[in-house]
Amino acid sequence: MKVISIVGARPQLVKLAPIAATFAETGHEHLIVHTGQHYDADLSDVFFDGLGIPDPDVHLGVGSGSHGVQTGSVLSALDPVLERERPDWVLVYGDTNSTIAGALSAVKMHLPVAHLEAGLRSFNRRMPEEHNRVLTDHCADLLLAPTQTAMHHLSGEGLAHRARLAGDVMVDICLKVRDAVRAGEHSALALPEGIDPSRPFLLATLHRPDNTDDPDRLSSILESLGKLPVPVALLAHPRLVARAGTHGINLAQGGVHVGRPLPYAGLVAAVLASSGVVTDSGGLQKEAFLLRRVCSTVRPETEWVETVETGWNALVPDPYALSPAEWAATVTRTAPTADPGTPYGDGRAARNVVRIIEEWKGCGRRT
């Protein structure tokens, strides 16, 4: 069986790592196509090096652009690649512009498509990720759901016959890297200058357009972070740096200390060193949950509802609308004591994915 994985953005590289490693243990041929949606070394190269992912077989080099330009560039660059390779399966990951483009290119060539991380929903139609994931689910042949909640969403949309519960492959990699970090197999903690890891600090990221693109909102969120009674290590995504620059907003306000995005092991080490996380990233909400750090999410909703239901995550859509005392109390709250269980699986999701695809072989091919 020949499988092509199509990836392009940072979170997809994290999910690719356990999938590539699992395919390498089988006799299947696994090719990697990198769309080039993320091109900065901090968002791409360090993940290949740090997670031992083989170099991409094909690099499309599409880069940035408006949603239409980025998605269209991936589509037109993929057609000749898929035509040449004619894989048995095309595997797309998550909810990015690279995902919807990969799925569309494949279905139009009648190539079976499997969607990893299917069934997630924010029910927020302002998010580009929501359009991407809904459309990808509806055109894919096999829907690999990470959670029971995702299975439920797929069933509600009439897609149960194409859905299988696989678990979340991010658990596989997160727990493996956590153990390696604890065993001292990774180099020292790299935190922004001014953060003392022996004292409590919060780890923060912000990159969603709804938080970065409106100057008033971005400025208010940063002001709220800067006024907290604990220092904040802000790992600044290129979108955040670019938008803050355009709006003339200083990221390093008050107790905020700014650093670059970290490689995956560095991120896991930083979460473990922190006393809590403040973010709008989907992946980091789950990593905080898996590494047992309380998380506060600067969004009105989350796809990862289990993190909230178990008390490890709190939604804070507008931190500046809270009093400084309430905001501080939220981000520094104590961790829940009840066992949250394993809503995202037991760390063997990549094996489930490969097995489900093998068993599905032939079923998904269109005639």
- Which residues of the chain form contacts with ligand UD1 (CB under 6 A)? 9-11, 37-40, 43, 64, 95-97, 128-129, 207, 237-239, 242
Q: Nearer Cβ to ligand UD1, position 7 or 228?
A: 7
| Cβ-contact 149, 176 below 8 angstroms | no
Which residue is associated with the tokens 């077989």? Answer: 57
Q: Record the tokens describing residue 236, joined without a space.
A: 């600044």
Scan for tokens 């016959």, then name that residue.
161
CB of 321 to ligand UD1, least distance (A): 24
Q: How far is the CB of 246 from ligand UD1 (least distance, A)?
A: 10
Q: Identify the active-site residue in 30, 38, 207, 257.
A: 207
Residue 28 falls in the annotated catalytic set: no
Nearer to ligand UD1, 9 or 256 (CB): 9
The distance of closest approach from Cβ of residue 148 to ligand UD1 in the complex, given in angstroms and rounded to an integer, is 23
Q: How far is the CB of 150 from ligand UD1 (least distance, A)?
A: 16
Question: For residue 200, which of 263, 255, 275, 283 has the smallest C-alpha distance?
Answer: 275
State the nearest-atom distance from the C-beta of 50 to ligand UD1, in Å. Answer: 16
Q: Smaller CB distance to ligand UD1: residue 96 or 274?
A: 96
| Dihedral Cα 34, 63, 243, 217, nearest 10 deg | -50
3-class SS at 361? coil
Pairwise CA distance, residues 14 & 35, whole Å: 15
In the three-class reduction of DSSP (H, G, I as helix; E, B as strand; rest coil), residue 74 is classed as helix
252 contacts: CB under 8 Å, gap ≥ 6? 234, 258
Nearest CA to 43 out of 261, 244, 280, 243 is that of: 261
Nearer to ligand UD1, 187 or 246 (CB): 246
Q: Give min distance, CB of 129 to ligand UD1, in A.
A: 4
The residues facing 235 across adjacent strands are 259
Distance CA 262, CA 260 (A): 6
Collapse the DSSP code of 81 into the 3-class scheme (helix H, G, I; strand E, B; otherwise coil) and give the result: helix
For ligand UD1, which is the closer residue by CB, 129 or 306?
129
Buried/exposed code over 82-117 (b: 16+ C-beta within 10 A; e: otherwise): beebebbbbbbbbbbbbbbbbbbbbbebebbbbbbb
| CB closer to ligand UD1, 43 vs 357 | 43
**Which residues belong to the active site?**
207
